[in-house]
Amino acid sequence: MGCSSSLPDRSAGRVGGLNPVNGDSDAKNLRVKLVLLGDSGVGKTCIVLRFVRGQFDPTSKVTVGASFLSQTIALQDSTTVKFEIWDTAGQERYAALAPLYYRGAAVAVIAYDITNPDSFHKAQHWVKELQKHGSPDIVLALVGNKADLQEKREVSVQDGIDYAEKNGMFFIETSAKTADNINQLFEEIAKRLPRPSPS
Amino acid sequence: MASNSTSQPPSSDEEEEEEQGANSTVQKPNSNSIDNSLDAIENQLSSISFTSPIDETIAVVSAEYYHESVSEINDSSLNGSYEAAGEIRIDNNNSVGESSHASGSRVWMNNNVEVEVEAEVDGGLSSPSSSGYAGERGSSGGSVSSGSGTDVIREVRDNGESVGDDGVNMVDSVQAEWISGKRHADEDDASISWRKRKKHFFILSHSGKPIYSRYGDEHKLAGFSATLQAIISFVENGGDCVKLVRAGKHQVVFLVKGPIYLVCISCTEEPYESLRGQLELLYGQMILILTRSVDRCFEKNPKFDMTPLLGGTDAVFSSLIHLFSQNPATFLHAYTCLPLAYATRQAAGAILQDVADTGVVFAILMCKDKVVSLVGLQKSSLHPDDMLLLANFVMSSESFRTSESFSPICLPRYNPMAFLYAYVHYLDADTYLILLTASSQAFFHLKECRIRVETVLSKSNVLNEVQRSMSEGGLHIDRLPVDPSARSGSLFHQNQRSQPESVVGIGGPAGLLHFIYRSIYLDQYVSSEFASPVSSPSQQKRLYRAYQRLYASMHDKGIGPHKTQFRRDENYVLLCWVTQDFELYAAFDPLADKGAAIRICNRVCQWVKDVENEIFLLGASPFSW
């Protein structure tokens, strides 16, 4: 905050230092920055770990700052998409840092917990912030996680669909625990990405 | 009211006067500062009326008990409730004189407050919160002696070890549990179990809002928190500052840091200086997470609720509190290195230096709580306390193990007002690299740095050597060289590699059990591996507590500093030797001969000097720049 220093890799990122060097991204091999936002405890890390490593760990591990993971998927049209994922911490003290991670992101996944209405409201707050400060062509996805806990559901599917439609977002309900819809989430995102025009 | 601080051992008259003076202030709490805690005060007052008649009844019991407890010097300290209140009289006559004389610092003593706090902590005599304790209160008169009697028996049988800080049902196997965050979150100040905990830590705001409590739910402890705030603020209103309240076996230690108040309530018999140092570290840990700019939130809104800002950090604090009894770095203010062959550490240092030259403020390679190597930008200094807090933060936050992370952290001794950005990555299960930078944009640069470091370390076999050192340990006391001429000058030679079977070694010569050597110039210490009979965590904790007392007494500004100390009790012979260059703390069998112990200490110092290349990080000390 109060500190400043010369940026060692000033030439690297075009928009900001936390964006990868876009050198090897072409029409067939996309490389995208994805940021995962949402209230604490909605399962952001679980979604990412299920997607990247196929694992689910029920013990809650609070994310500190942000974790960085990447995963490549192949689409049916033989393009590959490498997701470089910033899994951010949901705690209030990190909220001010979020721009650091979503700046320049091509995709933002905003997650909430279907058993927790507060987290749904928090998700709406994130959507507004990204509409204001995110990249203009950012792909937004709204994710209702913990879909396996049907009996504890407090946010209806329709509420999620309605809100997503109103805001031009892609909507899906997932369960990191059962792996339901996790891969679908990322495949759908990949399909919606703007393709760079072949040069 | 202004005469609350005592700088001289008071005569008994003065003490009585003080008692009365304070009594009247309790009854007239300053209305503008503690409006929200009047309820608590009222309950306090009721507790006074309860205690005074009982005092006499249990005086006999307490006198017996006192003898009992004196003979038990370590922390088998009586978490029972009833005896302590009765003991106050004895304890006060001693402690007022002792502590004000010994420490030379302002110690605020007051009999009535002691009784109150006692009553609160133990809940034996009255309840600070109006409900929930009526049943217990009813039994106060008659069952007093029997209550304390059973407690004594249990304590003695437990030998004060398994009871631990956690009081009632602490078992060693609970040890692994602390990492998962707060324990006993369902408790509050009305719970008997909560009241029996041996060591409480609280952080609260100057308006009395709870911020952190070691045990129990912060929100449920609002009333208790307000009471603590009331005690602090009415002393402050008298232009004074409360540092310590002694209540029987309990000490209540206060630390005021601007709008943040820290309180420790402990019956572990640790010295005041040690407990205060622990509160300083607790505060430092909070600053590491939030920076001191959090003070501004209180300037804007005095009733600001800080708990959401610390969301998810319970594990960090409980792990630190755990370290207070497991890691001598918490009182030595020094760090320790993993023993490594000189060339191995040099190789690690070289690649870290390489990376640091590209704009990294600090590059630190650690294995658990031990430093493999560290490098800092020129003129930057990393304080050992900052390293302790940083390592604790990383090790207690499980998410760092999952993937590479980038997080703002503040080093309180480096710059308490600003965040640095930490890149953290585990290279294997225990070994992790921390790269600190001032730039929030440097993640991909640091990631590249890490890849370079990792490649070099695995090529040069450093990571394997680190693993080997972790499993084999460094200084084993049973290998203390006997004949100076036969010294090998290295821990990593021939025959010593072929003894993997001795995981827990036997004791050393002349009854040597353990030692710690602290190099003053290097800000580093080295301790011997634990050997039988100091093998269980609770025995190690007891030994660390003994060292801690020794450290405090050697560094006591009132009566020190001392050069040597030889102390014998039923657990150990402790020998401490302080010179300009080093401090040596050694523990021997209680039957050890003094002359032999001194000779062994000389041999230990020689041994440490012979292998200093391998147990310390030399030359590259960031502290001497």
Computed on alpha carbons and rounded to an integer, the radius of gyration of chain A in Å comes to: 17
pLDDT for residue A197: 66
Domain housing A100: 29-192
Other residues' Cβ atoms within 10 Å of the Cβ of residue B49: 9
pLDDT confidence bin for B181, thresholds 50/70/90: low
* Structural domains counted in chain A: 1
pLDDT for residue B318: 95
pLDDT confidence bin for B193, thresholds 50/70/90: confident
- List, for residues A82-111, the tens digit of each pLDDT value: 999 999 999 999 998 899 999 999 999 999
Residue B508 is encoded by which pair of tokens?
Answer: 């050393």
The amino acid at residue B180 is: S
Using DSSP's 3-state secondary structure scheme, residue B550 falls into helix
Inter-chain touch B408–A97, beta carbons under 8 Å: yes
Round to whole Å and give the CA distance between B390 and B433: 12
Q: Across-strand partners of B337?
A: B371
Round to whole Å and give the CA distance between B235 and B5: 10
Residue B272 is encoded by which pair of tokens?
Answer: 């005041």
| DSSP3 helix / strand / coil % (chain A, rounded to 5) | 30, 25, 45
Q: Across-strand partners of B409?
A: B420
Inter-chain touch B407–A66, beta carbons under 8 Å: yes
For residues B256 and B283, is the Cβ–Cβ distance under 8 A? no
Altogether, the residues listed in chain A come to a count of 199
Closest-CA residue to B548 (of B356, B269, B179)? B269
**Percent above pLDDT 90 for chain B:** 55
pLDDT confidence bin for B28, thresholds 50/70/90: very low
CB-CB: which of A2, A67, A97 is closest to B418? A2
- List, for residues B110-127, the tens digit of each pLDDT value: 333 333 333 333 333 333
For residues A132 and A148, is the Cβ–Cβ distance under 8 A? no
Average pLDDT, chain B: 74
pLDDT for residue B485: 56
The answer to whether position A165 is within a domain reads yes
Q: Across-strand partners of A81?
A: A30, A73
C-alpha neighbours within 13 Å on the C-beta side of residue B118: 29
Question: What is the mean pLDDT of the segment spanning B433-450?
Answer: 95
More confident residue, B59 or A24: A24
| DSSP3 helix / strand / coil % (chain B, rounded to 5) | 50, 15, 35
Round to whole Å and give the CA distance between B577 and B563: 6
- CB contacts of B289 in chain A (<8 Å) are 93
On whether any CB of chain A is under 8 Å from the CB of B420, the answer is yes
The answer to whether position A199 is within a domain reads no
For residues B116 and B84, is the Cβ–Cβ distance under 8 A? no
The most confident of A7-16, A52-61, A146-155, B216-225, by mean pLDDT: A146-155
ipTM of this predicted complex? Answer: 0.89
Round to whole Å and give the CA distance between B510 and B515: 13
The answer to whether position A66 is within a domain reads yes
pLDDT of residue B96 exceeding 50: no
On whether any CB of chain A is under 8 Å from the CB of B287, the answer is no
Question: What is the mean pLDDT of the segment spanning B126-151?
Answer: 35
Inter-chain touch A8–B442, beta carbons under 8 Å: yes
Question: What is the mean pLDDT of the segment spanning B200-210?
Answer: 96
Round to whole Å and give the CA distance between B86 and B76: 18
φ, ψ of residue B310 to 5 degrees: the values are: -100, 15
Inter-chain touch A92–B402, beta carbons under 8 Å: no
Round to whole Å and give the CA distance between B80 and B583: 37
pLDDT for residue B273: 95
Measure Cα distances from B339 to A98, B344, B525, B595 in Å.
41, 10, 11, 30
Question: What is the mean pLDDT of the segment spanning A19-31?
Answer: 70
For residues B78 and B267, is the Cβ–Cβ distance under 8 A? yes
Closest chain B residue to A3, measured at CA: B438
Inter-chain touch B290–A68, beta carbons under 8 Å: no
CA B268-B103-B598 angle, 5° bins: 75
CB-CB: which of A8, A45, A69 is closest to B445? A8
The amino acid at residue B520 is: I
CB-CB: which of B289, B420, B447 is closest to A3? B420
User: Which positions ≥6 away from B330 have C-beta within 8 Å?
Assistant: B277, B278, B281, B323, B324, B388
pLDDT for residue B483: 66
Inter-chain touch B444–A20, beta carbons under 8 Å: yes
pLDDT for residue B46: 37
Residue in the block written with tokens 């299960």: B429
The amino acid at residue B541 is: K
Closest-CA residue to B254 (of B271, B229, B237)? B229
Inter-chain touch A68–B312, beta carbons under 8 Å: no
Min CA distance, A54 vs chain B (Å)?
13
pLDDT for residue B191: 84
Residue B371 is encoded by which pair of tokens?
Answer: 């430093």
pLDDT for residue B478: 87
More confident residue, B300 or A25: B300
pLDDT of residue B99 exceeding 70: no
- List, for residues B236-254, the tens digit of each pLDDT value: 999 999 999 999 999 999 9
- CB contacts of B291 in chain A (<8 Å) are 1
Inter-chain touch B311–A40, beta carbons under 8 Å: yes
Residue A146 is encoded by which pair of tokens?
Answer: 């913990």
CB-CB: which of A7, A21, A91 is closest to B312? A91
| Exposed e or buried b per residue across A115-145, where buried means at least 16 C-beta atoms within 10 angstroms of its C-beta | bbeebbebbeebbebbeeebbeebbbbbbbb
The answer to whether position A124 is within a domain reads yes
Q: Name the burial class of residue A82, with classes exposed (0-12), middle (13-18) and buried (19+) by CB atoms within 10 angstroms of its CB.
A: middle
pLDDT confidence bin for A40, thresholds 50/70/90: very high
Round to whole Å and give the CA distance between B196 and A21: 58
- CB contacts of A4 in chain B (<8 Å) are 438-439
Round to whole Å and give the CA distance between A156 and A158: 5
CATH number of the domain enclosing A39: 3.40.50.300
The answer to whether position A20 is within a domain reads no
Q: Name the burial class of residue A23, with classes exposed (0-12), middle (13-18) and buried (19+) by CB atoms within 10 angstroms of its CB.
A: exposed
pLDDT for residue B111: 35
pLDDT confidence bin for A16, thresholds 50/70/90: very low
User: How many Cβ pairs closer than 8 A exist between chain A and B?
Assistant: 119
Q: What is the DSSP string of A75-137?
A: -TTS-EEEEEEEEE--SGGGGGGHHHHHTT-SEEEEEEETT-HHHHHHHHHHHHHHHHHS-TT
The answer to whether position A198 is within a domain reads no
- CB contacts of B437 in chain A (<8 Å) are 5
pLDDT for residue A17: 62
pLDDT of residue B262 exceeding 90: yes
Min CA distance, A13 vs chain B (Å)?
9
Chain A contacts in chain B segment 446-485 (CB below 8 A) = 447
The answer to whether position A160 is within a domain reads yes
Measure Cα distances from B443 to A71, B356, B418 in Å.
18, 14, 18
pLDDT confidence bin for A24, thresholds 50/70/90: low
User: Which positions ≥6 away from B310 have C-beta within 8 Å?
Assistant: A93, B211, B212, B286, B289, B290
| Whole-prediction pTM | 0.77
Residue B431 DSSP symbol: E
CB-CB: which of B293, B399, B443 is closest to A62? B399
CA B261-B209-B233 angle, 5° bins: 50
CA A100-A103-A105 angle, 5° bins: 120
Round to whole Å and give the CA distance between A98 and B68: 59
pLDDT of residue A172 exceeding 70: yes
Round to whole Å and give the CA distance between A101 and A121: 21
pLDDT for residue B440: 92
Inter-chain touch A92–B293, beta carbons under 8 Å: no
- List, for residues B53-84, the tens digit of each pLDDT value: 333 333 333 333 333 333 333 333 333 333 33
Inter-chain touch A40–B310, beta carbons under 8 Å: no
pLDDT confidence bin for B619, thresholds 50/70/90: low
pLDDT confidence bin for B567, thresholds 50/70/90: very high
The answer to whether position A17 is within a domain reads no
pLDDT confidence bin for B488, thresholds 50/70/90: low
pLDDT for residue B179: 45
CB-CB: which of A20, A68, A91 is closest to B406? A68
**Which of B93-97, B228-232, B371-375 has the least mean pLDDT?**
B93-97
User: Which positions ≥6 away from A157 have C-beta within 8 Å?
Assistant: A144, A173
Closest-CA residue to B282 (of B194, B385, B414, B179)? B385
pLDDT for residue B169: 38
C-alpha neighbours within 13 Å on the C-beta side of residue A19: 21
Q: Across-strand partners of B250?
A: B247
Computed on alpha carbons and rounded to an integer, the radius of gyration of chain B in Å comes to: 25
Closest-CA residue to B561 (of B570, B571, B551)? B551
- CB contacts of A17 in chain B (<8 Å) are 439-445
pLDDT of residue B601 exceeding 70: yes
pLDDT of residue A53 exceeding 90: yes
Interface test with A, best of B314, B419, B443, B446 (most A CBs within 10 A): B443
φ, ψ of residue B176 to 5 degrees: the values are: -75, -10
Inter-chain touch A93–B441, beta carbons under 8 Å: no
Q: Across-strand partners of B244?
A: B253
pLDDT for residue A28: 85
Inter-chain touch A18–B415, beta carbons under 8 Å: no
On whether any CB of chain A is under 8 Å from the CB of B440, the answer is yes
pLDDT of residue B16 exceeding 80: no
- CB contacts of A11 in chain B (<8 Å) are none
- List, for residues B412-422, the tens digit of each pLDDT value: 999 999 999 99
